[in-house]
Structure formats: structure tokens, C-alpha cells
Amino acid sequence: MKLATAPLLLLLLPFPQTLPDGKTLLDQSKDAFLKFRSYQYEMNMTTEMTAQDDPAKMTVSTTTMTTAVSAINPDKKRVETTSQPAGTMIVSDGQYTWTYIAPSNRYTKKAAIDWPQSSLASMGLGSASDVGKMFKEVKTVGEEALEVDGKKIDCWVVELKLDRLPFPQQPGIDLSNFVERCWIAKDQKICFKLTVSGIMSGGQIPAPTRLQETVTLHSVKLNVDLPESLFRFTPPGGATEVEKLSSSPDTKPELVGKPAPALRVQSLDGKAYDLSQLKGKVVLLHFWTTWCEPCRAEMTELDKLQKEHSADGFVLLGVDVGEGRGIVEKYLKSSGVTHPIAVANDANLFSAYQVRAFPTHVLIGRDGVVVDYQIGNEGPAALRSLLAKAGLKSGEKKDR
């Protein structure tokens, strides 16, 4: 009896499930929204950065960016991204595409672009198929249910791996041990969640830094009626149309030689700073964030400059961009930074100073006019050279 029933029992045992091909799923997800007459969704992206050498240090930072997308297939689309201090808008009516950059308050008007190919190309990534070919390994690693807008979405999980990924817009910076995971809905083939991890190094990054990004979709609406007004671009007040928007952080804003924009902030120690009351002093504004490795790397040198020129009518003010007071205070407590720091979340302020990369240094002369503008951490010598343009000589020259 036992021998007779054994084959029947074997038939009842579960067999290993064959997972769908990962590359096929990625191709299907790339075109998933094109199957619908129209769609809307919001996308949240959270980025965390941690010093690889000592995760226990207060070097973890978190930033969040929200993007709203509306589209009528095949050629009308509106993409708005909000973050501090940046903000972008891309609007296409099928005939023209407008691209607006908030920090510079400028926009371009071009012939309608091809989504998503041209947007990938504009970032230096080529076509979607080119991106798929970059990875050494693409496979489906399992399945998982996500909860999206209160509903359960059954997904395939596709994993992509790459030994090294260069940053196309940041020469010299690489992301190694790159791993990306996509949660692709089994029915609609929409990627509802994406995670990216790896180790950043090179360029102005003083020490290897672990990067972890998570992107999630929510408020997804398919085949929804959308007003035509969404796809008409109205320039914000004072915006200027230009032929080309430079994405290079090395391009200096047109502030040099002009009166510095108004600035009224309060430092974390309670002291008020008003540029209009600082005439007669040399002012250096240092726009930064706790998650910016190059920013943190130059804090000690900035402290030295403050002490060195304390009797020279020099005011150094760090302006943290878009972070919570608690995050900044926790970092300052562990780092020992001594120069005054203010926390600002005024998008108009960052737009006025055209801050679009970190760190950004704005040097203001004793007459209240912007003397020079330095983007990035170029080292102690560059900071001293910057101050010299406002008549503040370095310690070595003072001693002569």
C-alpha cells in the first residue's frame, strides 16, 4: 500500500516555480505606462548617505524629493520635481517642450522631446536599452507583495548588478558594488518601487560613502481625464528664456559685481544676521548640507579662516539648505564646528543666490556687492585665494 501511494504523494509536492526573465520584465516596465490613454502618479525618492569608514559617526543624512507626473499619451507630459533648494519643471504639449530650472529662474523652449529616450540622453545615459546593457547581471530574484495606496500589489523583484557605475554629470565620481532592485507589478508591469545601493568614491568625496536610495510610486491613476491646461507652460514671474540650460555646477551664476540678494536668518545660537546691517564687513556665505561629503570635509578649514580673520571685519556664516534643525544640531555636536550656522528652508533665498550644488561659497565685499562665487570644495588654498579677492590676506602673507 505504501509503495502504491508514494507516486501519488510525489505528485502533490510543490515544484520549484520558474521565475520570469528579468530583462524581459524590465523592458515591459519601461513601456508600461504607454499602454494607457493617460496617467498620473507621484514619486518619492529618499537618499541616505553614510560614511563607509565609520558608520557609527554622525555622518548619516537623509534627503527626500517628490516628483509629480501627469501625461496624456503619446506626447503630452508634465513633470514637476520639488526639493530644497532645487526645483524643476518639464512641460510638453506635443509640439514644444519647456524645461524650467527654479534656482536660476530660467527656461528653454524646444521642439517636443521623445519620452523617455531624450530625457535619458540628456543625462548622458543614452537610450533605455543602452542602460539595460550596462549591467553584468539582471535576474528575477523572487516575488513580493507591496501595499500601494491601501491596495496589495503582487510584484516580481528584479535585481541588477554592476561592479562600477560612473556618474555622467560628476566626472571622477564612481559608484561601485552597484545593486538596483525593481518591484514590478505582475499584472500592469509598472515598477512601483526601486532601490539603489553602492559605494561612492572619487572626485571631491574625501572618503568612501555608502549610498542608499529608495524610490516609490503612489497616488497612481490610470486612464484618468486630465485638463489640457496641465500641459501649457506659464513662465514663473521674472523667469528668463534662454537657448540652453547649463547643468554644469562649474558655471557661475551672474551674481558677481551685483549687490548681494537680501538675506535675513538666525543662527542656531540665536544670533540674527541681516546683510543690510553688515556693510563694512567682508561676508562669506557657505551653503551646505550635512549629507554633502565635500561640505563636511572643509568645515575645519572654514573654522580656521574665521579665527584667523576675526579682527579683520570678517563674517563667516554657514547656511544649511533644506534640512531639519535637529539633523544639523546633531551633526554639529559630533563634528565640533565652531563657526555660526543657520538653517534655512526658504526656496526664494536659494533661488536668489542660484544655489544648485554643494558646497557653494558666496563672497560679499564691504560695499555689499558680490565679489566672487565658488562652487565645490577646491581645497584650503582656493578658499584663501577667494578671501584675498576681498582684501583678506592669508596668514602667511600677514606674517611677512
Say what the pLDDT of residue 238 is.
84
More confident residue, 345 or 232: 232
Q: The CATH number of 264-398 is which of 3.90.1330.10, 3.30.460.20, 3.40.30.10, 3.90.1150.10?
A: 3.40.30.10
Say what the pLDDT of residue 104 is.
74
99 within 8 A of 245, measured Cβ to Cβ: yes
158 within 8 A of 181, measured Cβ to Cβ: yes
- Find which of 42-56, 348-362, 364-378 is predicted with most confidence, using mean pLDDT: 364-378
Band (347; pLDDT cuts 50, 70, 90): low
Quote the mean pLDDT of the chain.
82
Strands 360-364 and 282-288: antiparallel
Q: 19-234 has which CATH code? A: 2.50.20.10
The two domains 19-234 and 264-398 share their CATH topology (first three levels equal): no
**CA separation (Å) from 284 to 70, 211, 260, 371?**
41, 30, 11, 10
pTM for the predicted model, two decimal places: 0.64
Residue 182 in this model has a pLDDT that exceeds 90: yes
Domain residue spans in the chain? 19-234, 264-398
Pick from 13, 97, 82: nearest CA to 350: 82
Say what the pLDDT of residue 13 is.
54
- For residue 259, give the DSSP letter: B
Say what the pLDDT of residue 162 is.
84
Band (105; pLDDT cuts 50, 70, 90): confident
Residue 211 in this model has a pLDDT that exceeds 90: no
Say what the pLDDT of residue 170 is.
57
Pick from 362, 296, 283, 363: nearest CA to 323: 296
d(CA 212, CA 12): 43
More confident residue, 25 or 3: 25
Say what the pLDDT of residue 350 is.
78
More confident residue, 41 or 296: 41
C-alpha neighbours within 13 Å on the C-beta side of residue 266:
5
Of the listed ranges 126-130, 133-137, 193-197, 238-242, the one predicted with least confidence: 126-130
Say what the pLDDT of residue 205 is.
64
Q: Could you check whether the bond before residue 166 is cis, i.e. omega within 30 degrees of 0?
A: no
Say what the pLDDT of residue 398 is.
45
Instruction: Kindly report, residue by residue over 359-381, the tens digit of the pLDDT.
Output: 899 999 999 999 999 988 888 99
C-alpha neighbours within 13 Å on the C-beta side of residue 226:
24
Q: What percent of the chain has pLDDT over 90?
A: 45
